[in-house]
Amino acid sequence: MGAEERAPCAPEAPLLVFTDLDGTLLDHHGYGWQGAAAALAALKERGAPLVFVSSKTRAELLPLQEQMGLAGLPLVAENGGVVFVPPAWRDPLEATGGQISFSPAGVVCLGAPYARVRQVFARLRQGYGAVGFGDMEAAEIAARTGLDLRSAARAKERECSEPFVCHADVAVLKKAVASAGMTVTCGGRFFHLLAAGQDKGKAVRFLATLYAQMRKQPVLTIGLGDAPNDLPLLRAVDIPVVVPRPDGSRLAWPEGRPRIAPWAGSQGWGEAMIRLLAELDGQS
């Protein structure tokens, strides 16, 4: 179980899966997801929504959803700052007079506007030599990430966070931006500047609540991640799964012994999910 107290769910409860992408569902090198194909098919057959929860932009995630047959499902972009909610998930909230403000496209922003993020980022650029995506051309982002140029250009279409490179310690960077209401988190490749209080866990809890309202019953949540910025995601779900890195190291989990995927990337993700689904089926 995650660190937070939640009402117990029966094994037959509707399943909702949240996953990080880079280094988790997507391979660290090459961004392939074919190793998870069988598990993705099993989730689709089960009717279990798979929600991307990533530091990537909405512009990056929408085409990836299309490629993987997941178009129309919710998504969480930019480390919890941007949440897309499809109409079926919004209806219960709107019917009860919920105060969440959605854009016409069904997007709710939980972070600070990108212009404000870049304004604060100037402190890190001037004081610590940080270089952000807003300072880079698409070609440089492509060279640093292995993305193609089109995907790298989409990575620049940011709404509420700034990935960056810097040689300073994360604690120093956090202190430098704290007075501006911002914080810094670590992903698999980059630091990320974002609003204080913005994280993947808040967005996960928000969507899990909406899905439970839509299904009119408690839901069972699974979360998979590999990096420090995934800790809030993992703490917000019923069953957290840590995916190891390609070198065999893995995210430190302070809340006891989490489930560990057997391998890195999509292959480990897929095998962990297949085993977990079999275990849940055995309990029902």
User: What pLDDT does residue 167 have?
Assistant: 95
Report yes or no: 85 and 108 within 8 Å, Cβ to Cβ. yes
Reported as a single tens digit per residue, the pLDDT across 16-61 is 999 999 999 999 889 999 999 999 999 999 999 999 999 999 999 9
Q: Which residues are catalytic?
A: 20
Segment 62-83 mean pLDDT: 96
| Alpha-carbon gap, residue 158 to 86, rounded angstroms | 21
Segment 200-223 mean pLDDT: 94
Decide yes or no: CATH 3.30.980.20 for domain 114-195: yes
The pair of three-digit structure tokens given for residue 36, joined into one six-digit string: 């998870």
**Domain segments of the chain: what residues?**
15-110+198-283, 114-195
pLDDT at 70 over 90: yes
Report yes or no: 164 and 126 within 8 Å, Cβ to Cβ. no
User: What pLDDT does residue 284 have?
Assistant: 54
| pLDDT higher at 147 or 12 | 147
User: What pLDDT does residue 98 have?
Assistant: 59
User: What pLDDT does residue 185 have?
Assistant: 93
Reported as a single tens digit per residue, the pLDDT across 179-201 is 999 999 998 889 999 999 999 99
CATH superfamily of 15-110+198-283: HAD superfamily/HAD-like (3.40.50.1000)
User: What pLDDT does residue 3 have?
Assistant: 41
Residue 205, C-beta contacts closer than 8 angstroms, at least 6 positions apart: 236
Please give the single-letter amino acid code of residue 56: K
Segment 94-99 mean pLDDT: 58
